[in-house]
Amino acid sequence: MMSHARVPQIALATLHKRLGGLASQWTCSALHMDIRHAHPRNNNCKHFHLLAQHQAQRYPLKKYENTEEEKRLLLKSSALLESAAEKAKNKESFIQAIDKYLEKESVYRRGHVEFMEAAMAKMKEFGVHNDLDCYKKMLQLFPEGKMIPKSVWQVELMHFPKQQQTAIFLMDQMEYQGVIPDEDFGCRLAAIFGTKAHAFRKYRRMMYWLPKFKNINPYPVPQAIPEDPLMMAVIALKRMAVDLENRISVWRIGEEKEFDSETDETFIASAMSPKQEELINSHPVDEPVYVEGGFTTWIRNKCLTYFILRSATPVITQKDEKEKDLFNWTLFFEDENRTDLVPKPSVHEQEDGTVLGMCITGTGSKDSLVAWIRYLQLHNPKLEKIPIVFTLRSPETRVQVPDETKENKSVIAGNKT
């Protein structure tokens, strides 16, 4: 009578003899998946593990490489997209390239996977990587009704794996770009692969999670960011300002000639609240304030550089102590602690300093910051009597950048500069 321990060995040997090394590779991967759920003290599991190691060493898995035919089709698809890019790099040219391929391969769809890979690589160049209509258009490259699995085995073994994996890569790119599919996208995907395929499972996961992530931010950013840098600066300052009474002021240096300055035509967007103006009026005259930056902030894929007007660290006049008595009762045997009414610090007074204002300029140069301070002095006359120290650095290298003088810090006292 044959022992149970030799049954897997004989079965694998017969499978390898009949189907060759490819079946052994698939069987080894299946064995590794089963061993993870098996009991470690089972003798049969030891035979499975040793046999799987032997087969993995004998038939190592190789990295997939495109064949010569696939490389030729990929180059052909890239040439078709490059010819469309020579006319114009926009949405219309991208859709025309897809229509041209569909017109040429209306029956057999030769190389539709390679064309989709080339199109996904060129979407950012055409500026359509955030357009849902273009992703829907790319789904038309797949033939409908021919790749729907008919059984459970075809579903789990990934029927038409290359096509499904390409569709998953397409949805991955949508996820990276923040593009959420709609019901029409799911209907087209179901008509191609069916509702049980791995590609449609990816669509279901995206439809569950992405709307949650989209609405989780209490301060949402507009989907379409304006191209005007001044409007982007206003949006960034509104998001960074924590005071609800914050006011945004905008000046264009090229239009207003209030000061004799050699500053180029640029804009200045400033954020300041009435509480910050009160802090400036109560600031001692003998203590300087600092203009620091630049710091970077992001509005979707746009990077902006901002600067702050900061004073020194405020003196902490109030310390939080643990309450020993819930009702603040004092008995005769307890020490009486003196309690003072101290005003609570505002949101602008932090441990590393008090933020008196923020700004974003068009050039980010020192001259534009000097103009910003002079504009602030018009509405805050006491700022003319306070010394102002510029400590500027590049946001990329974090190195101080001196402009005219050899010193790393410049002091402005009133309108003398």
Output the six-digit token pair for 317.
């006049």
Q: pLDDT tens digits for 36-58? A: 344 444 444 445 455 556 555 65
The residue among 297 and 257 whose pLDDT is bigger is 297
CA distance 393 to 365: 10
Residues 388-415 pLDDT 10s: 888 887 665 433 334 444 443 333 334 3
Residue 227 above 90 pLDDT?
no
For the segment 326-336, what is each residue's pLDDT rounded down to a tens digit?
Answer: 566 666 655 55
The number of helices, as runs of H, and strands, as runs of E, in the chain is 14, 8
Residue 250: beta bridge partners?
Answer: 269
DSSP per-residue string spanning 206-244: HHHHHHHHHT--SSPPPSS--S-HHHHHHHHHHHH---T
Phi, psi of 387 (to 5 degrees): -65, 140
Percent of the chain with pLDDT over 70: 68
Q: What is the model's pLDDT at position 417?
A: 36
pTM of the complete model beyond 0.95 = no
Assess whether pLDDT exceeds 90 at residue 171: yes
In the numeric block, which tokens belong to residue 72? 């030729």
Name the token pair of 297. 């902030």
Q: Are strands 410-413 and 387-392 parallel, antiparallel or unpaired?
A: antiparallel
In this prediction, residue 137 carries a pLDDT of: 93
Q: How confident is the model at residue 34 (pLDDT cuts 50, 70, 90)?
A: very low
Dist. CA 38–CA 57, nearest whole Å: 22
Could you read off the pLDDT of 130-167 as tens digits, one per residue?
A: 999 999 999 999 999 899 999 999 998 889 999 999 99
- For helices 21-35 and 7-19, the axis angle rounded to 10 degrees is 150
Which residue is it, tokens 């602008």? 348
Cα–Cα distances in Å, from 415 out to 374, 376, 386?
8, 12, 11
Question: What pLDDT, on the 0 to 100 scale, is given for residue 52?
Answer: 53
* Residue 365: per-residue pLDDT: 86
* Residue 347 clears pLDDT 60, i.e. is over it: yes
Distance from C-alpha of 39 to C-alpha of 377, rounded to nearest angstrom? 78
* CA–CA separation, 349 and 354 (whole Å): 4
Find out whether 321 and 253 touch, Cβ atoms under 8 Å: no
298-324: average pLDDT: 74
Closest listed residue to residue 181, CA positions, set 207, 212, 205, 202: 207
Q: How does pLDDT run across 88-128, given as a tens digit for each residue?
A: 889 999 999 999 888 888 778 888 888 899 899 999 999 89
Compute the average pLDDT of residues 341-357.
80
Instruction: Quote the CA–CA distance of 73 and 18 in Å, as a whole number.
Output: 34
pLDDT in tens, 260-302: 455 567 899 999 999 988 888 888 888 899 999 889 998 888 8
Q: Please give the pLDDT value at position 398.
A: 39
173-221 pLDDT, tens digit per residue, is: 999 988 999 999 999 999 999 999 999 999 999 999 999 988 888 888 8
Residue 69 has pLDDT above 80, yes or no: no
Show the CA angle centred on residue 310, arms to residues 304 and 315, nearest 5°: 145
Distance (Å, whole) CA 202 – CA 167? 9
pLDDT at residue 400, as a whole number: 39
pLDDT of residue 169: 94
